[in-house]
Chain A
Amino acid sequence: MYRIGIDIGSTAAKAAVLDENNQLVYTVVMPTGFNGVEAAHRLADDLDAHGYDTNELPTVATGYGRVSVPYADKTITEITCHGMGADYLFGEDGLVIDVGGQDTKAILLADGKVKKFVMNDKCAAGTGKFLEVIADRMGVTQEELADLASQGEHTPISSMCTVFAESEVISLVGRGEPRENIANGVIESVVGRVASLTSSMASDQVFLTGGLCENDYVVGRLAHHLNRPVKTAPNARFAGAIGAALNAGN
């Protein structure tokens, strides 16, 4: 029997389907948009159309919008789900870093289970939201921002607060600083913040999940700041949804 995991994040809504051998047979991602319930229904329509009946199959919801999934049998926090999903994807213990749209999490795995975790406080510093705001301000996509950054020289962005950092970027633009350099400073700011969040969690292995894991430049800079290799996996942005599916029907 198939099992479904739904992960309603602040930016992206994800679904993952596992078969009876725990093989990942289907994934889908779409923007969450304004309404989590509506995003959950869009995911259900897609899953139903692909032959995975959300009304029949065991379903667990996670993520910030986990309470907005009417067809879920239960909800589990994204910390637990990301931990289990990372264990599924990477198959070994380590430190899981998830840079999400609204928050950044660091989860230490021991024997495949969450041993300790930290999250950023109610502030956008070091989150995907920070990159989104600044990329918007510079009129580029987040991918383009990373491309620019790779060609630039480091320009420190000292503001931790996203709103103040945006003002700081505006003054750098006004000063004529090349956009490559600004982009570089922005990425360094996020990655540095993520590294300091995880400073209390020692681990040789580091795995990056969430939307940013598909960005090679960011992965490389994170490895530099942590002074350790950072692994990622093709389906790492589905870690939360996979973790939810692993819990379905239990």
Chain B
Amino acid sequence: MAEVIDRHELWASLDMDLETHDVLCSVLPTAFGDTFLSQENRPEGMAFWDMVVADVHGIRPQELVDEQAKGRKVFGTFCTYVPDEVAIACNGIVTGLCGGSQFWVPEGEKYLPADMCPLIKASLGARLGKTCPFFRIADQIVGETTCDGKKKMYEIMAKDVPMHIMELPHQKRDKDVKYFADEIALFGKNVEEVTGVTLTEENLHAAIELINGRRKALARVYETRKNTDVIPISGTDALLMMQIAFFDDPARCTEMANKLADELEQRIADGVSVFPAGTKRILITGTPMAIPNWKLHHIVETSGAAIVCEENCTGTKFFTNLVDEGPTDFAGMYQALAERYMKINCTCFTPNEARIDEVIQLAKDYHVDGVINTNLKFCTTFKTEAPALEKALEDAGIPVLDIETDYTDNDAEQLRTRIGAFVEMLS
């Protein structure tokens, strides 16, 4: 691996807490090495993502800072419901934010109840603790009203950083889609103010095409994971690709995912598999897995099973369904965007039966032997929906294991027992 550049000057310029951040930097390489580099027969295309993650708080942040120097604005987002297209149309850059490690949780717990999901606590902790370059770089944070925990967290975060909050309806009637189309238009006004660039029908349509391209490229990678003869990529590697997709330049993400898909398609033609024949195939469903949360994937894939699909936001939810490229006027494009984003089946919606149908369809499409349905501790909506989802899977004859966990490692052995037993049960 290439020598890692010292980024302390960059981090100091972002007014980060260097001493605390160094602690994180000192543990990440070990976590990454243990999880990724211990895998065998990885696709060569993963070298790109290895390079990015080896310098995850340096390589992309430096690019963002360089672009800001040229006058571009950076929008930080949490969630798959915020339409990247609008910010990109105005020459803005969209980046994901930190929130996937226990490292940030204690700082978040200074301001939030302990019985709140670790993703929310870590996000706030990363911002207020000044230990995440993406949170420091963002000119504006864009929130969305998905769950109650996030909504209340925004009120605290907004005292520290400019925020724009998009109202996401929690039902999927026509009037709700229309409402979200109006919210997207309002976000357009906000983006124009922040960037100083006028949103036009032309630049919005171009952005829709760009992001659709990214969706198609990521979907190509996933398509190869449906193959039953070989498993061309581990779930752990596919998850990393998805996690980085939230942070990367969309055009480069598309290019790299397409290159990886080329290689994986060739692996299928050549019969090259990461796992031995007969390895049990697992679909992961549930709450998002923000970088560097690789906990469940690592345990599953070192317990004799392979993950062949993730239904999470850091999975198919990110790229399933394209925005209709037909409309070219503002009203039509806002409606098309709203229709696409409102098809994401998050548990914050009620009712949410479409998610159950979608999970069963994924289980069939990816030919899985079992489903592991997971939720981050204290995620009320995912936890509450779990029994209905799990019953539907059982009724469809698909074995399912329920796992509730957080970012800490203290339940790793219990999880190993449960997941090991589940894999034994499938054999």
A113: chain B residues at CB < 8 Å are 425
Instruction: Tell me if B420 and A77 are in contact (CB < 8 A).
Output: yes
Instruction: Tell me if A79 and B411 are in contact (CB < 8 A).
Output: no
Beta-carbon contacts of B79-109 to A below 8 Å, as 1s and 0s?
Answer: 0000000000000000000000000000000
Q: Is there a chain B Cβ closer than 8 Å to A175's Cβ?
A: no
Q: A64-B413, A200-B387 are contacts. A119–B418 as well, Cβ < 8 Å?
A: yes
Beta-carbon contacts of B411-424 to A below 8 Å, as 1s and 0s?
Answer: 10110011011101
Closest to B418 in A: A119
Instruction: Tell me if A117 and B417 are in contact (CB < 8 A).
Output: no
Beta-carbon contacts of B235-270 to A below 8 Å, as 1s and 0s?
Answer: 000000000000000000000000000000000000
Bound CA–CA A228/B417 (angstroms): 29
Instruction: Tell me if A122 and B410 are in contact (CB < 8 A).
Output: yes
Q: Is there a chain B Cβ closer than 8 Å to A121's Cβ?
A: yes
Contact of A76 among B414, B422, B424 (CB under 8 A): B424
Q: Is there a chain B Cβ closer than 8 Å to A155's Cβ?
A: no
Give B157 Cβ to nearest chain A Cβ, in Å.
30
Q: A64-B417, A79-B417, A200-B387 are contacts. A121–B424 as well, Cβ < 8 Å?
A: no
Beta-carbon contacts of B152-168 to A below 8 Å, as 1s and 0s?
Answer: 00000000000000000
Interface-centre pick from B387, B421, B422 (highest chain A CB count, 10 A): B421
Instruction: Tell me if B417 and A77 are in contact (CB < 8 A).
Output: yes
Contact of B424 among A64, A77, A119 (CB under 8 A): A77
Interface-centre pick from A77, A79, A80, A113 (highest chain B CB count, 10 A): A77
Bound CA–CA A118/B417 (angstroms): 11
Contact of B399 among A116, A119, A200 (CB under 8 A): A116
B389-413 interface (Cβ within 8 A of A):
394, 399, 402, 404, 410-411, 413
Bound CA–CA A76/B424 (angstroms): 8
Bound CA–CA A78/B413 (angstroms): 12
Bound CA–CA A116/B413 (angstroms): 20
Is chain B's interface secondary structure helix, strand, loop, or mixed overall?
helix
Bound CA–CA A114/B410 (angstroms): 26
Bound CA–CA A80/B417 (angstroms): 10
Instruction: Tell me if B421 and A79 are in contact (CB < 8 A).
Output: yes
Give B82 Cβ to nearest chain A Cβ, in Å.
33
Instruction: Tell me if B424 and A114 are in contact (CB < 8 A).
Output: yes
A146-197 interface (Cβ within 8 A of B):
none
Q: Is there a chain B Cβ closer than 8 Å to A98's Cβ?
A: no
Bound CA–CA A78/B425 (angstroms): 12
Give A73 Cβ to nearest chain B Cβ, in Å.
16
Contact of A114 among B402, B404, B421 (CB under 8 A): B421
Bound CA–CA A64/B402 (angstroms): 20
A78: chain B residues at CB < 8 Å are 417, 421
Q: Is there a chain B Cβ closer than 8 Å to A87's Cβ?
A: no
Give B239 Cβ to nearest chain A Cβ, in Å.
23
Q: Is there a chain B Cβ closer than 8 Å to A7's Cβ?
A: no
Give A51 Cβ to nearest chain B Cβ, in Å.
31
B394: chain A residues at CB < 8 Å are 116
B425: chain A residues at CB < 8 Å are 79-80, 113-117
Bound CA–CA A79/B399 (angstroms): 15
Q: Is there a chain B Cβ closer than 8 Å to A93's Cβ?
A: no
Instruction: Tell me if A79 and B404 are in contact (CB < 8 A).
Output: no
Beta-carbon contacts of A78-95 to B below 8 Å, as 1s and 0s?
Answer: 111000000000000000
Instruction: Tell me if A117 and B421 are in contact (CB < 8 A).
Output: yes
Instruction: Tell me if B414 and A103 are in contact (CB < 8 A).
Output: yes
Instruction: Tell me if A122 and B421 are in contact (CB < 8 A).
Output: no
Bound CA–CA A118/B394 (angstroms): 14
A79: chain B residues at CB < 8 Å are 417-418, 421, 424-425
Instruction: Tell me if B424 and A122 are in contact (CB < 8 A).
Output: no
A116: chain B residues at CB < 8 Å are 394, 399, 425
Bound CA–CA A64/B417 (angstroms): 8
Give A64 Cβ to nearest chain B Cβ, in Å.
7
Bound CA–CA A60/B394 (angstroms): 31
Closest to B419 in A: A77
Q: A64-B413, A103-B414 are contacts. A121–B404 as well, Cβ < 8 Å?
A: yes
Closest to A103 in B: B414
B273-296 interface (Cβ within 8 A of A):
none
A87-133 interface (Cβ within 8 A of B):
103, 113-119, 121-122
Closest to A117 in B: B421
Instruction: Tell me if B411 and A122 are in contact (CB < 8 A).
Output: yes
B404: chain A residues at CB < 8 Å are 121
Give B420 Cβ to nearest chain A Cβ, in Å.
4
Instruction: Tell me if A119 and B414 are in contact (CB < 8 A).
Output: yes
A119: chain B residues at CB < 8 Å are 414, 417-418
Instruction: Tell me if A77 and B421 are in contact (CB < 8 A).
Output: yes
Interface-centre pick from B413, B417, B418 (highest chain A CB count, 10 A): B417
Bound CA–CA A115/B410 (angstroms): 27
Give B415 Cβ to nearest chain A Cβ, in Å.
9
Q: A116-B399, A200-B387 are contacts. A80–B424 as well, Cβ < 8 Å?
A: yes
B114-152 interface (Cβ within 8 A of A):
none
A80: chain B residues at CB < 8 Å are 421, 424-425
B422: chain A residues at CB < 8 Å are 117
Give A98 Cβ to nearest chain B Cβ, in Å.
12
Bound CA–CA A198/B361 (angstroms): 29
Bound CA–CA A42/B21 (angstroms): 47
A3-60 interface (Cβ within 8 A of B):
none
A118: chain B residues at CB < 8 Å are 402
Closest to B390 in A: A200
Closest to A247 in B: B424
Bound CA–CA A109/B212 (angstroms): 47
Binding site for B on A (CB under 8 A): 64, 76-80, 103, 113-119, 121-122, 200
* Sampled A-B contacts (5; CB under 8 Å): A64-B413, A118-B402, A119-B414, A119-B417, A119-B418
Binding site for A on B (CB under 8 A): 387, 394, 399, 402, 404, 410-411, 413-414, 417-418, 420-422, 424-425
Which are the 3 A-B pairs with shortest beta-carbon distances?
A79-B421, A77-B421, A77-B420
| 4 other A-B residue contacts (CB within 8 Å) besides A79-B417, A113-B425, A114-B425 | A77-B420, A116-B425, A117-B421, A119-B418
